A and B are shown apart, each in its own frame.
Chain A
Amino acid sequence: MRTLLSYTKLYALIVSQYIKARMQYRADFFISSFGILLESGAGFFSLWVIFHSISELIGWSFNELIFIYAFALLAVSPSQLFFDNIWHLSHHVRQGTFIKYYFRPLNMMFYYLSEIFDIKGFTKLALGITAFIYASFKLGIDWTFPKFILLLALLFSSSLIMISLMIMAASTSFWTGEASSLLMFVFRFGEYSRYPITIFNSFFKLLFTYVIPIGFVAFYPSRFFLRPTETNILAYLSPVAGILLFFLAYLVWRKGVNSWTGTGS
């Protein structure tokens, strides 16, 4: 408990320094926020256009799809906010600058990830929250307190799934020296998770549920609120999947950190 508290304090300290440094580039922040707003909002536009030609997508209405999309956005926001430094890992490994993280009496993964707090992730979060409220209002979802707690728990585990996959992808750079295209590949899972898994045939349904758990990022947890009667055991398994994956990701990271030989400079 003591360590948790001191780590939280430390995190706040590092992040506040980072934000001060970033505020030098105020224009960059606003332009980037606008860019991210467009990028994350593009899917809403696509849905809106598609629903000019159809009235439902194999039984799913426009608002239900907005709900799933918003859930997916909320699930990927934490990885943008807190874990954005993962994108620079292969660069640090190649240049040898990663060596500095070995020299502090801190958890290395914590120290490495705390260095960047991506403020523009708030744009994604804000868009996600707005769309989520809009969709649940339109669908008339009755938010009771236990339901809300469940929502938070499911969002937490969805984020954990995305984060774990990205940490694993980035950690491969300890061995290969490059991970950006693999990381991009994994990052796009977040985009693929916006569609109902039921559109796929049985082979891909199994693949996206058990092998590459895209379904757990947004669809299975959202269905819990949209169609409570159609939900199966999978929605409850989502937190288990999240925690297990994160544990696995941490092991991969540790193995990578221990086997990295540095660049000699």
Chain B
Amino acid sequence: MKKYIMITRNSFMSSIIYRFHFFYTSLSNIFYIIIIYFLWKAIYRGSGGSINGMTFNQTFIYLALALSIFCLFKTYTDWEMSYEVVNGIIVMDLIKPIDIQLMKMFGAIGFVFYNFITVTLPALFIIIFIFQPGVITVRSIALSIIPMVLAFFISFNIDYVIGLTSFYTESIWGISIAKDTIVLLLSGAVIPINFFPDILRKIVGFLPFQAIYHIPLTILISKDMSIYDYLKFLGIQLSWAIVLYAVNRLYYSKAIKVVTVNGG
């Protein structure tokens, strides 16, 4: 266990060298929050206060927090793995007596800590102090901690699938961009899933992406979630976490046989 904690610490330490990253990413997020605020204000103008069962406040908080989660989970695992395959550095990981999936995950956790301090916390401050939403309670924050951990686990495993794909394709620029877009759109991070047309909402219910954003966010913004609904949400997340983890184990055992490293 100690070696994995060291990996987490190292990846945290190596990410804090990018000082400007913190500044511009925060600025970029402030812009995004301002734009979704006015955009959704415009969408809600002329409506009777609530659309698809969500008030403006709920929608805005949902989307602003989705941004915070997106920044939190952005650990570039897929990009890093592809880079390592292209440059051959991946052999250095493969020869170590360490499980590579766990190693990448603990590396990603270090990145998440960094993201939390530099990007998510400032974004949360802006949302809470400037826009003053009344929808988040201490209870909902407490309830959302476990779903957030599971959401990270699912998000990491989706990145890892793409990362393993680079064992076959080397360059994954296109696949990664496509993955980011699909995850953001179908998880409800850009538009709350309550706004989707019925058929689409059913389809999205069968996909793992909503477990990253929609589930923790819904728990965060609902005032009176029943214990039954809560457990159902946890069940969905847990099943996806197990399925994706198992798929990755299987995929790795196949991919490791084809990866070719030139030099290194």
Contacts and interface: CB of A to CB of B under 8 A. Distances in A.
Contacts of A49: 191, 195-197, 200
Nearest to A48: B197
Interface string A18-43: 00000001011011111110110010
A35 B173 contact: yes
Contact of B181 (A33, A38, A184, A188): A38
A229 interface: no
User: Shortest 8 CB-CB distances between A and B: which pairs?
Assistant: A32-B174, A35-B174, A35-B177, A31-B174, A181-B24, A199-B42, A35-B178, A185-B28
Nearest to A28: B171
Contacts of A185: 24-25, 27-28, 31
A33 B174 CA distance: 7
Interface stretch (A53-61, A131-139, A251-259): A53-61
Interface string B160-187: 0000000001010111111011101100
B191 A36 contact: no
B21 interface: yes
7 contacts: A32-B174, A50-B43, A50-B195, A54-B51, A179-B20, A185-B24, A199-B42
Given A176-B20, A185-B28, 11 more contacts: A27-B169, A28-B169, A28-B174, A32-B177, A42-B184, A46-B191, A49-B191, A49-B195, A181-B21, A184-B28, A199-B39
A180 B76 CA distance: 14
B18 interface: yes
B38 A200 contact: yes
Given A32-B174, A178-B18, A53 B181 contact: no
Nearest to B173: A32
A216 interface: no
Contacts, number: 107
B262 interface: no
A110 interface: no
Nearest to A183: B24
A246 interface: no
A155 B177 CA distance: 26
Interface string A170-211: 000000101111101100100010010001110010000000
B102 interface: no
A interface: dominant SS: helix
Chain B, interface size category, equals 35 or more
A204 B182 contact: no
Given A32-B174, A185-B27, A42 B18 contact: no
B253 interface: no
Contacts of A178: 18, 20-21
B190 interface: yes
A52 B195 contact: yes
A42 B31 contact: no
A134 B180 CA distance: 27
Contacts of B184: 42
A148 interface: no
A204 B32 CA distance: 13
Nearest to B34: A204
Contact of A39 (B21, B45, B181): B181
A179 B34 CA distance: 23
A31 B18 contact: no
Contacts of B197: 49, 52
Nearest to A178: B20
Contacts of B25: 181, 184-185
Contacts of B51: 53-54
B20 to A, nearest CB: 6
Nearest to B172: A31
A45 interface: yes
Nearest to B194: A53
Interface in B3-32: 18, 20-21, 23-25, 27-28, 31-32
A54 B47 contact: yes
B175 A35 contact: yes
